[in-house]
Amino acid sequence: MFSFATSPRGAGTLLPVRTPQQMDHYLRESELLTGSASRLFVIASADRLRYQVRWIAQGCHIERLDARGNPLGSAVLDCEEFLVHPLVDALRSGQLYTPPAHH
């Protein structure tokens, strides 16, 4: 587990994301538990980059968020583009995390 002091709901624990299948599981879990088809992912680097990720028919919609959760930019990526996104790099290096989903 990883503690993250600037999560949207205050301090909290983050769950590690180690495989693409686990990322997909967390996105589906979020949809089932919250009704939202998106999930926050955090890259545990010095900058603590935050992304809101949502699967869509065209592939993946990704929003880069600021510390308050406001979008800084967004992109719709197909599968090939997603595989070279910094989120996947972080996943491969063991630096990708997500907060637990809540009802």
**What is the per-residue pLDDT across 71-96, written as a single tens digit (0 to 9) for each?**
999 999 998 898 899 999 999 999 99
Structure-token pair, residue 77: 């990526």
Q: What is the CA radius of gyration of the chain?
A: 13
Residue 6 reports pLDDT greater than 50:
no
Residue 103 reports pLDDT greater than 80:
no
**Closest by Cα among 29, 58, 23, 24 to 42:** 23
**Closest by Cα among 60, 63, 56, 53 to 76:** 60
**Residue range 42-63: mean pLDDT, rounded:** 91
- Entry pTM: 0.82
**Residue range 58-63: mean pLDDT, rounded:** 92
